[in-house]
């Protein structure tokens, strides 16, 4: 006897799906039967992942837009049709990458806006655009990728942590509003995940020692992988998770524990 999650007949929008975690989430949802709208701010990245999904026999279409631009978001969601599943994955500081890590007292206020624009307003924009069709259809799933930098609190990441914590609080409030419509809203909080953005240079002289220092707080001494995240997200957007809402699921290799 086998066990499978069936998302046949559902349409999913995954933001920031052109690489890394978003790519794997998009491919996993497609493998479960969902028709996936693949978003990325770089059209070529959205096209590439769409072609991967199609080549594997799944259903997908590219939907390039910038999550920080509400007009672009609403226009794109209107074009791709009713969305049943929204995964707010786009993060960091958008095309600017992660930026300089420093103590907050040394930070430049001009640098804060990019973190808030992507990680908080981007989540709000996409959720606002996707919710009406979910309410009308009486079913929906919203999952937002946040970070243990916000849930636990990591030094030198205060603006990023603030934006991710804001997205978590926003998700809890929306969960209370839309539960009566058959819509669940949850977050997945991540530790360090191996992606093209976070990958260390293999030939960096200080690489091995830096990696050991990075992983020392982790019970499972490796970086997370995108497929560690995709399985949890796929469960949360499935019918199996219909009685779970307003929660944060932690995927962090034991970096922190929570009750």
Residues identified as active-site:
160
d(CA 28, CA 227): 8
Read out DSSP for 188-243? EEE--B--TTTPPPTT-TTHHHHHHHHHTT-SS-S-B-HHHHHHHHHHHTSGGGTT
Q: Which helix or strand (DSSP H or E) is residue 145 part of?
A: strand 140-147
Side-chain-side CA neighbours of 61 within 13 Å: the count stands at 12
Query: Sign of the CA dihedral 17, 54, 30, 12?
Result: positive
Per the listing, tokens 């910038």 go with 66
Other C-beta atoms closer than 10 Å to the C-beta of 42 total: 12
How far is C-alpha 102 from the geometric centre of its chain's CA atoms?
24
CB of 13 closer than 8 Å to CB of 90: no
Q: What is the DSSP letter of 199?
A: P
- Give the position of tokens 């095309």: 95
């Amino acid at each position: 006897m086998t066990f499978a999650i069936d998302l046949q007949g559902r349409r999913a929008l995954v933001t920031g799906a052109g690489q890394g975690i978003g790519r794997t989430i998009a491919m996993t949802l497609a493998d479960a039967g969902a028709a996936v709208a693949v978003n990325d701010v770089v059209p070529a990245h959205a096209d590439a992942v769409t072609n991967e999904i199609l080549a594997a026999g799944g259903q997908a279409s590219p939907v390039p837009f910038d999550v920080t631009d509400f007009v672009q978001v609403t226009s794109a969601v209107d074009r791709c049709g009713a969305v049943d599943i929204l995964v707010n994955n786009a993060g960091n500081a958008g095309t600017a990458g992660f930026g300089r890590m420093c103590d907050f007292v040394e930070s430049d206020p001009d640098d804060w806006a990019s973190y808030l624009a992507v990680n908080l307003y981007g989540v709000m924009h996409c959720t606002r655009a996707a919710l009406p069709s979910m309410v009308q259809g009486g079913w929906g799933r919203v999952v937002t990728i946040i970070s243990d930098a916000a849930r636990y609190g990591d030094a030198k990441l205060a603006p990023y942590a603030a934006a991710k914590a804001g997205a978590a609080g926003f998700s809890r409030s929306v969960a209370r509003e839309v539960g009566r419509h058959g819509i669940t809203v949850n977050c997945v909080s991540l530790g360090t995940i191996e992606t093209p953005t976070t990958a260390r240079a293999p030939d960096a002289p200080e690489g091995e020692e830096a990696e050991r220092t990075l992983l020392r707080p982790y019970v499972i001494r490796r970086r997370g992988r995108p497929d560690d995240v995709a399985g949890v997200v796929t469960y949360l957007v499935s019918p199996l998770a219909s009685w779970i809402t307003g929660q944060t699921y932690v995927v962090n290799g034991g970096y922190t524990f929570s009750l």
